Amino acid sequence: MPARRTDIFAGQPMSIPSPFVLTSQLILARLLVPQAKAPTPAALAKSLAPLFNQQYSSGEWRLLFDEVLSSIRVAQHVEVSKLILTPSGLTTAREFCGFSSEEALPKNLRWKQLLDKHITPRLCGFPPPGPKTKLADHLLIEFLKQSHQLAGPITSLSQLLVALAWKELGIDSRKKFTPASVLAKVSLKTDRTLTTVPLAKLLSQQLLGDSGKDFAQSLIRQKIRQAATTPSSDVPTALPNLTLADVHAALPHIPAGPLGPNRIFIRDLWQHLLPDRRGTLEQFRLALLALHKSQHVRLVRADLTDRLDPRAVEESRIEDGQATYHLLVREDKPPATP
């Protein structure tokens, strides 16, 4: 047990009282509440026991109580024969509870009221409750604010729960906690109040990186970007088995076109290849370009294309850098087969 002290209140800070001092303060505060007659030591100990019974056994509590009460008597804070506060005890008790020397005690003061509204806030460092705040709510609010380090005014439990919900997300906010407000704050970093459709559009625009008003067009633009930046497995490759012999085997079967017998649309040549040598038109064009570059065939550009079959022109088009080809030139004496 702590050593007995003659003056248990001298220079003791409110923030970190010792068990001995705190017990002394609570005994004097309990005696501050008006009663019909002075309590006995046993009745006083019993009324304070609920505050101590989690920390001390009943025997330990009575030993602590008796020692502290003895020290209070020595300090002359209570009368010798009765547990009634002396002027010095009254001053000390009022000071502990936060009442100034000129301030009148509340009318019909009860012990629970004194604990909830005065003693507990002062011991815990809470601000006093507002005039419209429920005492029980006030203690809950201030304890959770202090425990979670929430700054700013919070005057209701609903406001407290909103702040705690935001705190769980790592955000300091008092805005109403709804799915829409959470998404706006977390995903869009905005405090704007957004209804369902605008919020969904903004979230989609953020994902797309496109703030266009027409969402369907934004989606198509995304696909265009993806197509432009993603390697495609459909890139045409040259037909590996196309030979010059395949070309010359097809030439006799191609009728003369609008440019004469020696200027043949590349598409027409492809259409007259044997089916198992043909491949796709794009594959054929690449293979034919390879033969042209190796000087086994000669490809040329068609002039005055506006006078020709536009489909034949487009399907025959081969682009190679700055050069464009539409036609195969039929040679009088075909070069040797590679």
Q: How large is the average pLDDT for residues 177-188?
A: 79
What is the per-residue pLDDT for 333? Answer: 54
Q: Exposure string (b/e) for 110-128, b if CB count within 10 Å is 16 or more? A: eeeebbbbbbbbbbeebee
pLDDT grade for 239, boundaries at 50, 70 and 90: low
Within a domain: 114: yes
In a shared domain, residues 167 and 185: no
* Sign of torsion over alpha carbons 27, 28, 30, 31: positive
Give the model confidence (pLDDT) of 250-300 as tens digits: 899 888 888 888 899 999 999 998 887 778 888 888 989 999 998 889 999
Domain with 315, as residue range(s), is: 244-329
Do 63 and 41 lie in a common domain? Answer: yes
Mean pLDDT across the chain:
83
Q: How confident is the model at residue 16 (pLDDT cuts 50, 70, 90)?
A: low
Q: Out of 21-25, 32-36, 172-176, 314-318, which region has the weakest mean confidence (pLDDT)?
A: 172-176
Please indicate, yes or no, whether residues 321 and 255 belong to a single structural domain of this protein.
Answer: yes
Does residue 12 lie within any of the structural domains?
no
Residues 120, 29, single domain; the answer is: yes
293 in any annotated domain: yes
Q: Are residues 131 and 115 in the same domain?
A: no
Quick: pLDDT tens for 185-224.
877 788 888 887 787 778 777 877 878 877 788 788 877 7
The predicted pLDDT at position 181 comes to: 83
Question: Do 170 and 214 fall into the same domain?
Answer: no
CA dihedral sign of residues 208, 212, 215, 219: negative
The structural domain count of the chain equals 4
Confidence band of 6 (pLDDT split at 50, 70, 90): very low
**Residues 190, 98 share a domain:** no
Cβ neighbours for 110, distance < 8 A, ≥ 6 positions apart: 33
Mean pLDDT across the stretch 10-35? 79
Answer whether residue 215 is part of any domain: yes
pLDDT of 7 > 60? The answer is no
Q: Please give the average per-residue pLDDT across 106-126, as a whole number.
A: 89
Q: How confident is the model at residue 33 (pLDDT cuts 50, 70, 90)?
A: very high
CA R_g for the chain = 48
Q: Residue range 36-63: average pLDDT?
A: 94
From 78-87, 171-180, 264-273, the region with the lowest mean pLDDT: 171-180
pLDDT at 64 over 60: yes
> Are both 209 and 150 inside the same structural domain?
no
| Among 171, 201, 174, 204, CA closest to 189 | 171
Q: Is the pLDDT of residue 308 over 80?
A: yes
pLDDT of residue 146: 85
